[in-house]
Amino acid sequence: MAKRATRKTNAPSPKPTLAEALADVRAHGVGVWAGALDKAETDDVRARLWDVARRKDAAGKRDFVPADANANNIRLLNLIDWDPYFIELSSRACVMDAVRAVIGERILLSNYSANIMGPGAGSMLLHADQGYVTEPWPPVPLAVNVGWMIDDFTDEVGATRFVPGSHHGDGNPDSEARYDTLAIEGPAGAMMIMDGRIWHTSGINRTADRHRAAVFGYYVLPWIRQQINWREVLSPATVARCSEDFLFLIGYAGGNRELFNPGAVRARAAGRGQGHR
C-alpha cells in the first residue's frame, strides 16, 4: 500500500493575482485567483451553461457521474462540442500559464465539463484527479484541474472541499477512513487551480433555492490517457472551428506522421467526428 501523508493547514484565501494563487497551489495544493473573469463574462458563462443544460435535456442527453451522491447535480460533459465559446476559454493564455506552471510545458486537455449543484446536492466521493495512476506517485503532480467559479463558492452552497496537505502524499485516500476537509471559497468569476494529487470532493448544497455552477478543465501530461476521446465526440463542425494549436492540445495530433503533416489532423477529423449535431 502506498504511503499516504497529510499536513494540517488552512484553506488559502482568494488572491488578486495568478502568481499569488499559484504560490498557494505549491503550498496548499489549491489556489484561487479572484477576478479572473469580470462580472459581464461570468454572467455570460452562467447563461451559456443553462442554455447547454436546456438543450441537452431537450435532446435526451442528460449527463450523469456515478460518483455523485444524488441526482441534484446537473453535469454538462463535452462542453466544447455544445458551445464553441469553451474552445477559447479552455485554452486562454492565463489558463495555459496556470497549467504549465503546475505540470510543465507539454500538456493535453483531458476533459472539459461543468457542474451545476442544485439545492440538496450531496457530496461526491473523496478522490484525487490523478487517482487512476499507479501508486506510489512521484513527488510532482501529473495533472491539474483549472476551474471557474461561476457562482460564489461558499460552504453553505457546496463549495469544493479538500484534505489539507494531501498533495504531499503519494497515493489515493483510504476509502474506509475519515478525513477533515476545508471548503475552497471564492467569489463568482474566480479561477480555482488544483494539483492533481489533492484529495477533494464537492460540498453539500444546504440552501433551499441557490445553485452553484462551475466549469472544470482537466489537463494532464501527454503520456496519460485522456478521459475524453475527442476524436469520437467532437462534431466536424466543432473541429472546423479549432485552431491547429487547439487540435494539438486535445490530442488530435500524435505521432511523427502527424507532427510533420498537420493537414492530416483535419483530414482525419472530418471523417471521424461523432458529435451531438
One-character DSSP codes across 127-191: B-TTTTSPSSPPSS-SEEEEEEESS-B-TTTT--EE-TTGGGSSSPPPTT-----EE--B-TT-E
Mean pLDDT over all residues of the chain?
90
Asked if the model's pLDDT at residue 28 lies above 80, the reply is yes
Residue 252: per-residue pLDDT: 81
Q: Mean per-residue pLDDT for 51-55?
A: 97
Which is higher by pLDDT, 44 or 253? 44
CA–centroid distance for 139 within its chain: 21
Residue 268: per-residue pLDDT: 53
Q: Mean per-residue pLDDT for 270-274?
A: 51
Q: pLDDT-derived band of residue 7, with 50, 70 and 90 as boundaries?
A: low
* Contact yes or no for 145/194 (Cβ under 8 A): yes
CA nearest neighbour of 71 among 134, 119, 37, 136: 119
Q: Mean per-residue pLDDT for 37-56?
A: 98
Q: pLDDT-derived band of residue 40, with 50, 70 and 90 as boundaries?
A: very high
Q: pLDDT-derived band of residue 71, with 50, 70 and 90 as boundaries?
A: confident
Residue 256: per-residue pLDDT: 41
- Check residue 125 and report its DSSP letter: -
Q: Residues spanned by CATH 2.60.120.620 within the chain?
A: 18-228
Q: pLDDT-derived band of residue 2, with 50, 70 and 90 as boundaries?
A: very low
Question: Cell numbers 501530461 label which residue?
Answer: 221
Residue pLDDT, tens place only, 168-187: 999 999 999 999 999 999 99
List % helix, strand, coil for the chain (3-state, nearest 5).
30, 20, 50
Question: What is the percentage of the chain residues whose pLDDT exceeds 90?
Answer: 81
User: Does domain 18-228 sit in CATH 2.60.120.620?
Assistant: yes
Asked if the model's pLDDT at residue 66 lies above 90, the reply is no
- C-alpha cell, 214: 462551475
Q: Mean per-residue pLDDT for 261-272?
A: 51
Asked if the model's pLDDT at residue 10 lies above 50, the reply is yes
Residue pLDDT, tens place only, 237-258: 999 999 999 999 999 865 444 4
Q: Mean per-residue pLDDT for 85-101?
A: 98
Residue 261: per-residue pLDDT: 47
d(CA 250, CA 239): 11
Question: Cell numbers 484561487 label which residue?
Answer: 32
Residue 65: per-residue pLDDT: 81
Q: Mean per-residue pLDDT for 137-163?
A: 98
